[in-house]
A and B are shown apart, each in its own frame.
Chain A
């Protein structure tokens, strides 16, 4: 499919992290798309994109898990993902992970169909969101995958700017990683914590009441850090935020 064409139906790949800690965000993503008159499928056989094992070097284990997604997401609708990081895995790393295997063609076909949620809403659907909420100052955390790998951070910013009562602020060193990096946060916890604290303090310094992001992992990292450090901002997945803001 061409991402520029408005599809009749999509699949949503919810991601295991959202499933585990913030399923409301996954639900909000589906509702946002359905509200635009598009049929949303949620294949129940999906689990995890396999990125944690892949990034740790365990390619055989990553492939075992990824193969299950190739099966679960079989079809030809676009696959919308409310995470730039997992979208990046499906889009850019699956072809590499399956290169030279019997599943190469399947992986390449799936990769072509993958669209990150904000990119889908903004670029493909060109949604018009009507802000129903009170004035609020929001900082957008541009995840590394959103900024670099998928280049979809501008889509998130554009959606937020479309909300009339939202003041969007940019933290210092906005381009810098928050220190999550999946297993990095577990393998090198001290460095990760230092990065997370710098980032959380930069967000707090903007005076934003709320931090939103396209990536659940970064949010868990930054919200947890902010809470432990007593920094006064809340964190919310952008899908959930966009849905809540546009409810009457």
Chain B
């Protein structure tokens, strides 16, 4: 029986048009990134720097978060801690209600997807209005992002034009990009007018200055964070960095890795609400810092590397699995290689463990990750936890954020260890391969059968290799093994 993931991935594979759209877009992003980093040595040095900055931030996470909170308060912001998605949503709803808001305009934010704030607000009678072009397209089509940077990348122009024509019949448009963006701009302008609360994510939060850095290309992020009376920024606790001078290298890595841009059209540095002598800007700025499992990840020295992520999307752009099934094939908020390591940790192995299997371990992700997250190594670790239970090396550790009350030894990844058929298969495999005599016996037996892989060995191998043969002619098994041939040719054992 196919798992939920395999069913979803299979469906994604069958959508030829989406596959074509994603493949073309990813090829484009890969080429742009390549062109943006012409000098290998310089890139290597930048990545070292990026990793060091993020490692330093994570090594000092509790202290930096305290400093961030304190500096933000001094700047006039209000800081809220959310242990999980439910708390974050409740905080946001409270703020909106307190402000009497009926709607909220939103800049693109993956954390807002993670907590599912749109659906939550709708259930409570508040309309979330996406203002990023990609997010608008998804909202109109009632879809979720398929990519963390280019959320509607699975759709082509013709589909978008059809969607616009259906929703805005009074303003017919062709699939010309200029026409599409012009229409989106008109629609958006109307929405910005009269909005009293704006919501956004955060790319980096600077502890020493209490500055929220947000990059974007459409200007909707700036409008969402400056035009309304109230701005609510929501982000994961791991997005903190110690110093302002960390931003230059991190932004260079982020935008070049993501889209090949040397810099985004807008770089927003938000340092608090409007001052008494200022004529515009929000009157209130709230920062919601979300844990949602991050402290748990942070407590494990190896898995902590996951939190270095700066959400550039390069790993998915280069991933052969992602380019085949797209974000929707994963069925999670964070898709691609980063999703395959992050989601099982956030949601537990019981729920998302199979994502860690959805990789050929080709290493393309780690090769491009700007902060050198060893994704294949972490996938291997998660597979190990899934197969054999938690690794003993975990040390008791302090919770990273004041939001979480855990301070006892915690299991880094919930839901590991599932003994069963697979475990028994590997036990049997190990038995055969750990002893030269048994291995030789097995090799001779197979040689004696002389046939194809789906021969009488089927009992054990059939289950394992059945799926293999659907799309491939199975290899011929050699009658005589290398041991025999080597001996016959005079290659000595000693």
Contact = CB atoms under 8 A, between A and B. Distances in A.
B458 interface: no
A19 B324 contact: no
A22 B363 CA distance: 26
A195 interface: yes
Interface in B412-437: 422-423, 426-427, 429-430, 433-436
A224 B474 contact: yes
B277 interface: no
Nearest to A31: B489
A128 interface: no
A189 interface: yes
B482 A47 contact: no
Nearest to A59: B384
B486 A144 contact: no
Query: At the interface, is chain A mostly helix, strand, loop or mixed?
Result: helix
Given A20-B481, A190-B9, A72 B388 contact: no
Contact of A148 (B367, B464, B472, B489): B367
Contact of A196 (B9, B423, B465, B471): B471
B430 A144 contact: no
Nearest to A45: B436
A200 to B, nearest CB: 10
Interface in B451-476: 464-465, 467-468, 470-476
A68 interface: yes
Given A54-B380, A57-B387, A179-B320, A193 B472 contact: yes
Contacts of B387: 56-58
Contacts of A188: 6, 9, 321, 357-358
Given A44-B493, A184-B360, A193-B471, A27 B320 contact: no
B475 A21 contact: yes
Contacts of A45: 436, 493
B434 A68 contact: yes
Nearest to B488: A27
Interface string A170-194: 0000011101111011111111111
A35 interface: no
B467 A55 contact: no
Name the residue in A27, A44, A176, A182 with the highest tally of chain B Cβ atoms < 10 Å from its Cβ. A44
Given A57-B380, A225-B472, A26 B485 contact: yes
Interface footprint category on A:
35 or more
Contact of B434 (A47, A177, A228): A47
A236 interface: no
Contacts of B213: none
B381 to A, nearest CB: 8
Contact of B480 (A23, A44, A61): A23
Contacts of A30: 486, 489, 491
A220 B475 CA distance: 6
Interface in B325-340: 325
Given A20-B481, A181-B361, A187-B357, A52 B491 contact: no
Contacts of A122: none
Nearest to A39: B492
Contacts of B393: 100
A18 interface: yes
Interface footprint category on B:
35 or more
Name the residue in A12, A72, A179 with the highest tally of chain B Cβ atoms < 10 Å from its Cβ. A179
A27 B485 contact: yes
Interface in A218-241: 220-221, 223-225, 227-228
Contacts of A34: 491
Contacts of B464: 186
Contact of B363 (A39, A57, A148): A148
A193 B360 CA distance: 12
A194 B383 contact: no
Interface in A25-40: 26-27, 30-31, 34, 39-40
A124 interface: no
A44 B9 contact: no
A42 interface: yes
B408 to A, nearest CB: 24
A95 B142 CA distance: 49
B13 A190 contact: yes
B361 A55 contact: yes
A112 to B, nearest CB: 20
A8 to B, nearest CB: 14
Nearest to A17: B475
B31 to A, nearest CB: 12
Given A44-B493, A177-B360, A221-B472, A57 B386 contact: yes
Given A176-B320, A184-B357, A55 B486 contact: no
Interface in A198-232: 220-221, 223-225, 227-228
Interface of A: 12, 14, 16, 18-24, 26-27, 30-31, 34, 39-48, 50, 52-62, 64-65, 67-68, 72, 100, 144, 148-149, 175-177, 179-182, 184-197, 220-221, 223-225, 227-228
Interface of B: 6, 9-10, 13, 320-321, 324-325, 357-364, 367, 380, 382-388, 393, 422-423, 426-427, 429-430, 433-436, 439, 443, 446, 464-465, 467-468, 470-478, 480-487, 489, 491-494
Given A20-B477, A22-B478, A225-B471, 18 more contacts: A16-B433, A23-B480, A24-B478, A26-B486, A31-B489, A34-B491, A42-B483, A42-B487, A55-B361, A55-B380, A57-B384, A62-B430, A100-B393, A144-B363, A177-B362, A184-B359, A195-B320, A197-B471
Nearest 8 pairs between A and B by C-beta?
A181-B360, A224-B472, A57-B383, A189-B467, A177-B362, A57-B387, A61-B430, A193-B471
